[in-house]
Chains A and B, each alone.
Chain A
C-alpha cells in the first residue's frame, strides 16, 4: 500500500522535474522512487500501513513477490527508455510518468481484494499504455498501433464490466470473499453467473494476449518503441496474468471444471499458433510478439493448478521477462532503419557481452535445463501432468517447435559469414543486459530459499 503511494507520487514528481529538461536528473528521481517503492514493498507489513483500515488492497506473501518482480522489471524498462528518449528532452518525463502510473495500476491489479480495485487497477494499467504506444506522434505506424490497441482494449474493458455486473447480479457483492462464498453455497449452476465468468475470461484472454484474442499483439508491438514494448511484454503481461490466475484459482475455484476445458483450448491453440506464426516472420518485433503469445499459453497452465499455480507462474515469469527484456535490448542496439531479423547476422562474435546474453536468453526461452526458463516450464507442466496428460504432451511438442525458432535465431546471430561489425552500446544498455542475464541464469535460485 505504501509502495503504491510512493510510486504514484514519484510519477507526479517526475513530470514536474521533467520541466527542467534535464533527462539525467529525471532518471535519477524516477529510479530513486522506484527503489524506495521496491524497499517499501519488500518490508511491507499490513498493520503499519498508512491506510491500514482500508481492505480493498491486501498483499499476501505471493502477491508481495509479484509486486517486487513488477517493480524490478519496470526499473529495467525505465533504464531502457533513457537510452531512447534522452535526446528528446520534451518527452522524457512523459514516458517515465506514464510508465510509473501504469505500474501503479499493475500493483492495484496484483493486490486487489474487491472488484472496485480490480477494475480501477486494470484501467490505470491500460490507459497509460494506450498513450505510450502512440508516443512517437509523427510516426504513422505508431498512431495506427495506438488506434488499434485503444479500440480493441476498451471493447474488452466493456465486456469485462458486463461480466462484473452479471456476477454482481447473481452473488450480490463486489467483495472477492463474499463472491466466493456465494458460489460455494450452490450458486455455481446459475446461468447468469456462468455467463459473467465467461465474459470476464474473454476479456482476460484479451488482456494477456492469448488466442482467440491475440490479434492485437503483433501489430501493437511492431508499432510501439522498443522500451514500451519491453514494458508491455513484461509488466503488463505479468499483472494481467497474475490477476487472471488469482481470480480463477481462488474466487471462482468451484467453477474449475467448467473453466478448465476452455483454458486448455486457449493454451494449446496459443502455443501452436504462436510458435508456428513466429517461424515465418522476418521482423524481430512481430516474432517476439508471436513468441510472447506462445509463452502466455504456457503461463496459463497456472490457472489449472490451485495449489502451486502462483508460485510456478512467478518463476516462469522471471525467466520469460528477463530473456525478453535482454532480447529487446539487443534489438535496440542492433536496429537500423527497420527491425528485420537480417540485422542480427553475425553480431555474436564481434560483441562478447551481446553474444553471451543472446545465447543464454535464447537457451532459457527454449527451456534448456540450467536456466530459469526451464524451471518455470517444468513447474507449470509437472503440476498439470496427472490431470491433463495429453495436453502436457501437446505443449511439449509445441515447445520443440519453439526451440527450433529460438535456436535458428541463435545460429543466425552466431554465423561467421556476416563478419558482424562492432556495435555501439551505452553503459545503461550494458547494465540492463547484465541484470537480465543475472535473472535468466540465477532466477531459479529463489526456489532454494523457500
Chain B
C-alpha cells in the first residue's frame, strides 16, 4: 500500500473507478430481476476487474496482467455464450425471463 501512495492521485482514481464499476455490477446482480440485465451486470463486474488489472500492470511496468485481461475476455465470452443458451432454454420451459419465476426448487 505504501508503494501505491507514492505514485500520486492518478492510480487512486483508477482504483476508485474500478471499485465503483464493480459495486454497480454487484448491486445490479443482487437487485435486478431480468436475467439479461443480470448477464450484463456480471459482464460489468468482469470489466471492472480488467480495468483494475490494466492499471496495476501499467503501474508495475510488466505485461503479465495485460495477458491476464485477454484470458478474462475469452472466458467472459464463453460464459456469455453459455449464459444466453441457458437463458433461452429456461425461456422455452417457463415463458419468462424474470428470475423470480424460478421458485419451484425449494425446501
Chain B proximity of A203: nearest CB distance (Å): 12
CB <8 Å contact, A161 and B90: no
Residues 64-94 of chain B, each 1 if its beta carbon lies under 8 Å from chain A, else 0: 1101100110010011001101110110111
Per-residue contact bits, chain B 13-39, to A (CB 8 Å; 1 contact, 0 not)? 001000000100110010000010010
Which chain A residues lie closer than 8 Å to B60 at the CB level?
172
Cα separation A386 to B82 with both chains bound (whole Å): 47
Any A CB within 8 A of the CB of B106: yes
A169 touches B82 (CB 8 A): no
A218 CA to B106 CA, complexed, in Å: 8
Interface range for A: 35 or more
Which residues on A sit within 8 Å (CB–CB) of B46?
158, 161
Whether the Cβ atoms of A144 and B90 lie closer than 8 Å is yes
B64 / chain A contacts, CB cutoff of 8 Å: 168, 173-174
Complex: chain B residue closest to A163, CB-CB: B49
Task: Tell me whether A147 is interfacial, beta carbon within 8 Å.
Answer: yes
Known pairs A155-B42, A174-B64; A165 contacts B49 (CB<8 A)? yes
User: In the complex, which residues of chain A have a beta carbon less than 8 angstroms from the beta carbon of B93?
Assistant: 138-140, 143-144
Q: Which residues of B contact A223 (CB under 8 A)?
A: 105
Contact assessment for B82 and A130 in the assembled complex, using a CB-CB cutoff below 8 Å? yes
Residues in chain B near residue A115, CB distance under 8 A: 68
Q: A127-B78, A150-B83, A170-B1 are in contact. Are A161 and B72 (CB under 8 A)?
A: yes
Q: Which of A116-124, A351-359, A365-373 contacts B (4 or more CB under 8 A)?
A: A116-124
Name the residue of chain A whose CB is nearest to the CB of B87.
A147
| Closest chain B CB from A117 CB (angstroms) | 10
The chain A residue sitting closest to B44, CB to CB, is: A158
For residues 160 through 218 of chain A, which have their beta carbon under 8 Å from a beta carbon of chain B? 161-162, 164-166, 168-170, 172-174, 190-192, 218
B contacts with A, residue count (CB < 8 A): 45
Tell me if A377 is interfacial: C-beta within 8 Å of chain B: no
- Taking a contact as CB atoms under 8 Å apart, the answer to whether B102 and A144 are in contact is yes
A285 to chain B, nearest CB (A): 10
Identify B105's interface contact among A145, A154, A162, A169, CB under 8 A.
Answer: A145
Of all chain A residues, which has the CB nearest B72?
Answer: A161
Instruction: With CB as the reference atom, state the residue of chain B lying closest to A191.
Output: B1
CB neighbours (8 Å) of A281 from chain B are: 107
Interface bits A100-134 vs B (CB < 8 Å: 1, else 0): 00000000000000011001100100010011001
Q: Are B49 and A143 in contact (CB under 8 A)?
A: no
| Contacting pair B53 A155 (CB below 8 A) | no
Give every chain A residue within 8 A of B26 (Cβ-Cβ). Answer: 155, 158-159
B residues less than 8 Å from A165 (CB atoms): 49, 52-53, 56, 65
Which chain B positions have C-beta within 8 A of A161? 45-46, 49, 72
Residue of B nearest to A281 (CB): B107
B82 near A150 with CB under 8 A, answer yes
A91 at the interface (CB under 8 A from B): no
Complex-state Cα separation, A297 to B10, whole angstroms: 44
Chain B residues near A139 (CB-CB < 8 A): 93
Residue of B nearest to A158 (CB): B45
* CB proximity of B83 to chain A, nearest CB, Å: 6
Q: Which of A134, A138, A151, A283 contacts B99 (CB 8 A)?
A: A151
* Contact among A116, A151, A158 for B49, CB-based, below 8 A: A158
**Are A148 and B105 touching (Cβ within 8 A)?**
yes
* A contact residues around B90 at 8 Å (CB): 143-144, 146-147
B56-A116 in contact (CB<8A): no
Are B104 and A120 in contact, with the CB atoms below 8 A? no
| Set A127, A130, A148, A158: member contacting B25, Cβ < 8 A | A158
Residues of B within 8 A of A140 (CB): 93-94, 104
| A340 partner residues in chain B, CB cutoff 8 A | none
Contact assessment for B105 and A116 in the assembled complex, using a CB-CB cutoff below 8 Å: no
CB distance from B2 to the nearest CB of A (A): 8
A2 at the interface (CB under 8 A from B): no
Which residues of B have CB within 8 Å of A283?
107
Pair A162/B89 contact, Cβ less than 8 Å: no
- Is there contact, CB below 8 Å, between B52 and A147? no
Q: Which B residues are in CB contact (< 8 Å) with A190?
A: 1
Instruction: Let me know if A131 and B82 touch, CB within 8 A.
Output: yes
| Interface residue? A286 (CB, 8 A) | yes
Instruction: Verify B56–A154 contact, CB threshold 8 A.
Output: no
Chain A residues positioned under 8 Å from B22 (CB to CB): 158, 162
A141 interfacial contact with B, CB 8 Å:
yes
In the bound complex, residues from chain B placing their C-beta under 8 Å from that of A137 are 89, 92
Q: Are B68 and A174 in contact (CB under 8 A)?
A: yes
Q: Are B82 and A127 in contact (CB under 8 A)?
A: yes
Residues on A lying within 8 angstroms of B by beta carbon are: 115-116, 119-120, 123, 127, 130-131, 134, 137-141, 143-148, 150-151, 154-155, 157-159, 161-162, 164-166, 168-170, 172-174, 190-192, 218-219, 222-223, 281, 283, 286
For the A-B complex with A123-B75, A147-B90 known, give 11 more contacts whose Cβ atoms are closer than 8 Å.
Answer: A130-B82, A141-B104, A145-B105, A146-B90, A147-B87, A151-B35, A151-B38, A162-B49, A168-B65, A168-B68, A169-B56
Sample 6 A-B pairs with CB under 8 A, ordered by A number.
Answer: A130-B82, A140-B94, A147-B86, A162-B45, A169-B52, A172-B60
